[in-house]
Structure 1
């Protein structure tokens, strides 16, 4: 049994889908004009902010708990915009990411349908699916309670890990003395991917925040999809393949002493026989 107004929720999903469609179409048009499809990486986080704002506005006048709606809106927008700004500053002056350059070499047929199939359509669908807890939360009338506090705490842990990890990495790369070295300091000594671990916690936290109604349990698909992306597809797996090629033994040693995802104290360094 659910107290969520399913008709209103369905309307919200439709409006969110339309907003994402327009957002992705604009991003694609700008990327084509600039000949740089890395822009979609910058717009990944803000895409969720778009859904959060649209869902909040669409749910005005519903019986959704106002505090829950405001908290979920704020946390989603803060996370999404910080991520977009960070990637934007990181990518300045670097041109198109080699992933997109390699993909475009295999273009078949007209450009726009190809881009929709291979890049932009998939991104749009993922934004809609992963944002399900945000949409559900806008229509739940129950107060946040203990579960809400737990969700905020988990989100906060994730946001701190992601933000601090990104800051530490940017400072490390900005120092010429670290050229060619492996980042193994700060949070990066406890996990090889503090930013990805943080992302996962953010979406687990938002999922918990959506649990004001039993039906919202189905939104567990959101953190599952996000974690799968971060660990097996566009995140950890892809990055580590490149790091092994570029850093060699130094990265293998780092892998041997540092957790691949969940933070833990580093193991003792290996001693190589001379």
Structure 2
């Protein structure tokens, strides 16, 4: 594994992501909707995938496997977010409206750095991908098969959770109610849980590659971001503002992240 070449690929990926996020920031500033950053955060990963596939020097079959996993998962997420955000460009999501209010006159500048941080996070999270595609070993190992199996569960879990929530929101009868059916019965954020599990799959896959243990940084960062920063906390605040009584009861009986059974109080 050529460390210098690996750093070169990482740098090229970072430059590409930062340029994309700068252009997205200009667009978001013009339309006054910072929510588009979510879409392009997901779509930056396919960009990294293409760059790495053509520049990395690892075993071709392994490259095809991990590139396919990366592309399928992130394109699905990007398309899902595109449909959710682009459908109402004239209405910024609540969490970004709140940030805009808190930042006041500095909102545009702060969003610029926020968007650039997303680009940096793209590259940090892609560390397993860089490591895996540089692995020259011609044999697919047990850890890699285990990673694929976990990825399949995570991919379909997240897709089902997103679809269940979308169907729930489509029904006018559910306005003001909390989605607590299907996977949402077991977790308040099953989509976030399976997104994290996807990154765990990449980490497991990377364990058979040189320096693969470093890939743990990706699921660790995702877990922190989803549970402490931009995922669960922002979503919970928005839900408590829009449906305080119903969501408070949901919080008391249902796990925030990991899918568990209902609490004793619910039973």
**Distance of aligned partners of 1:137 and 1:270 in 2 relative to their CA distance in 1, 3 Å threshold:** closer
2:47 corresponds in structure 1 to 50
2:84 corresponds in structure 1 to 90
1:164 corresponds in structure 2 to 160
How many residues align? The count is: 263
TM-score (norm 1): 0.89
Which ranges of structure 1 fall in alignment gaps of 5 or more residues? none
In the alignment, the residues of structure 1 paired with residue 116 and residue 13 of structure 2 have an alpha-carbon distance, to the nearest angstrom, of 15
Choose the corresponding residue for 1:207, options 203, 214, 217.
203
TM-score (norm 2): 0.91
Q: CA RMSD in A?
A: 2.0
Whether the 8 Å contact between 1:19 and 1:54 is mirrored in structure 2 is: no
In the alignment, the residues of structure 2 paired with residue 268 and residue 209 of structure 1 have an alpha-carbon distance, to the nearest angstrom, of 37
Cα offsets for 1:175-205 (capped at 9, x unmatched):
0111111101001111111100110010010
Residues 29-178 of structure 1 correspond to what in structure 2 (within 5 A)? 29-59=26-56, 62=57, 64-91=58-85, 92-93=87-88, 95-105=91-101, 106-107=103-104, 111=108, 113-117=109-113, 119-142=114-137, 143-178=139-174
Displacement after TM superposition at 1:109 (Å): 6.2
Whether the 8 Å contact between 1:107 and 1:114 is mirrored in structure 2 is: no
Displacement after TM superposition at 1:227 (Å): 0.8
Kindly report structure 1 stretches of 4+ aligned residues shifted beyond 6 Å.
none
Which ranges of structure 2 fall in alignment gaps of 5 or more residues? none
Displacement after TM superposition at 1:234 (Å): 0.6
Displacement after TM superposition at 1:108 (Å): 5.3
Whether the 8 Å contact between 2:183 and 2:190 is mirrored in structure 1 is: yes
Whether the 8 Å contact between 1:161 and 1:198 is mirrored in structure 2 is: yes
Whether the 8 Å contact between 2:41 and 2:119 is mirrored in structure 1 is: no
Displacement after TM superposition at 1:39 (Å): 1.0
